[in-house]
Structure 1
Amino acid sequence: MGSNTANNDFAPVKSPETEKPFKVFVGYDPGEDVAYEVCRYSILKRSSIPVDVIPIKQSELRDSKLYWRERGKLESTEFSFSRFLTPYLANYDGWAMFVDCDFLYLTDIKVLKDLVDDKYALMCVHHDYAPKETTKMDGRVQTVYPRKNWSSMVLYNCGHPKNRQLTVEVVNTQSGAYLHRFQWLEDEEIGSVPFVWNFLVGHNEVVEGNPTTYPKAIHYTLGGPWFDAWKDCQFGDLWLAELENYKKEQEKNKVK
């Protein structure tokens, strides 16, 4: 877990409610530990608000008896289903975010948090995405289904009554279709976020001369530079530069 609190002598006095750290739950997979660390680092270094970054680790959830479903053959990561515990882990209170570990944030998370609207149960990028590839990352199977990648970055209104349906039992027993398609909700309860907050490498495009199409958060959904085969992917240089900055920060902390 990490936190980052902005220092601003001229900031207005905030109420205790607004001072609560924004909880960001990041999907964690032991095979992509470095991806998690860089994602976490990229969020915290740019945040102007208090943030708690919390990894969702399947091993810890199993030890706590919060997760017991068997891993299916089509689950490409350990957090394929545990991600839906986010409202529960946030005590069904306030807004919290879930994000896959294969993200790189380029913009202050406050800008994203400011988009939340309490009339929605959750908000995400409404991708129209049907990958042509049959494999992704390190050779794992690529699956295609409605609302694919919608659940890879979600702003949850954890206190919304509908999200109380996401109990530990439901997350462990319901189908992938039910969970990834948000079938506990009506369509009008799913708010939309601009695609630049979940910019899919290999799918979304930057339009020259249109700065609104440049990513605020890059999602290396097919595979990122932490895999040898993907070191030269689009925006791979940005991730590698962030990795170097993270390493330097770690060295500085060791010296201290």
Structure 2
Amino acid sequence: MASSNHLPGTTLPPFMIFIGYDPREDAAYNVCRHSLLKHSSIPLHISPIKQSDLRSSNLYSRKRDTTESTEFSFTRFLTPYLAGFQGWAMFVDCDFLYTADVADLVALIDDRFAVMCVHHEYVPKETTKMDGAVQTVYPRKNWSSMVLYNCGHPKNRILTPELVSSETGAFLHRFRWLDDEEIGSVPFVWNFLVGHNRVVENDPTTFPKAIHYTLGGPWFERYKDCEFADLWLKELEECEKEKKGDY
């Protein structure tokens, strides 16, 4: 189900956000969605990208292989298609926790680019992540975990269900349908990799606006004590209270 945050007196159309969904990480999806809505000063339209729904609608037919750590490893690239190839939209993995207003990220949008993301230089040391999924290493790793898509950009029209179901992981995750100058950059705090990025003491500009538990978050027993676990668990508690109507 899509969810919206409609603020009184606003006339802007909701900004579209697609969150990758995996049944193993249902709690992570709900917390990510909750944190986005809680901090946002602009209307949002949030939808999960569920592989089962896409398959039943004949929008995705790719056979799963061992390199896919989540059900949205490839379905994420359908974001422009799902947005009707119009306007800007964001894709984000479900293992994110927002601590700031996503409107500040939207304000960085620049129509010169086809996509915008954090340009990580990230080579994980671990061989597994989450609940034992294989950790793959490739150029531009984690660039595709949070992407602002210029859905109306002519080059993004290549991202059809047929192409996303058949192209290689290297082609998609490295944005090979684009020239380098068409890939805009945003500050790393909007995709702060737990265990990789660091908060610099007395420098508030380094504190994460979007915490990415890329190796695994506190919803997995193995990572229950990871960095920023307390913030995620607090958000989970708030989320569950809201569901029960205790707020």
TM-score, normalised relative to structure 2: 0.98
Deviations 1:80-104 (A, max 9, x none): 0000000000000000000000000
Whole-Å separation in 2 of the counterparts to 1:214 and 1:127? 16
SS in 2 for 1:248: helix
Alignment partner of 1:109 out of 68, 91, 102: 102
Give the Å deviation of 1:7.
2.9
Alignment partner of 1:163 out of 137, 142, 156: 156
Contact 1:5 1:48 in 2 (8 A): no
SS in 2 for 1:173: coil
Q: Which runs of 4+ in 1 moved over 3 A?
A: none
Aligned length: 246
Whole-Å separation in 1 of the counterparts to 2:56 and 2:36? 28
Give the Å deviation of 1:20.
1.1
Aligned pairs (5 A) from 1:46-195: 46-195=39-188
SS in 1 for 2:165: helix
Aligned to 2:189: 196
Alignment partner of 1:38 out of 24, 31, 37: 31
RMSD: 1.1
Q: Is residue 214 of structure 2 the alignment partner of residue 214 of structure 1? A: no
Deviations 1:126-184 (A, max 9, x none): 00000000000011110000000000000000000010011111101100000000000
Q: Is residue 225 of structure 2 the alignment partner of residue 224 of structure 1? A: no
Letter aligned with residue 101 of structure 1? C
Whole-Å separation in 2 of the counterparts to 1:204 and 1:87? 29
Whole-Å separation in 2 of the counterparts to 1:71 and 1:251? 36
Give the Å deviation of 1:46.
1.0
Whole-Å separation in 2 of the counterparts to 1:148 and 1:241? 29
Q: Is residue 214 of structure 2 the alignment partner of residue 236 of structure 1? A: no
Whole-Å separation in 1 of the counterparts to 2:67 and 2:162? 21
SS in 2 for 1:97: strand
Deviations 1:200-251 (A, max 9, x none): 0000000001111000000000000001111110000000000000011111
Give the Å deviation of 1:186.
0.1
Give the Å deviation of 1:45.
1.1
Letter aligned with residue 210 of structure 2? A
Whole-Å separation in 2 of the counterparts to 1:229 and 1:134? 14
Letter aligned with residue 3 of structure 1? S
Whole-Å separation in 1 of the counterparts to 2:62 and 2:3? 28
TM-score, normalised relative to structure 1: 0.94
Q: Which runs of 5+ in 2 are unaligned?
A: none
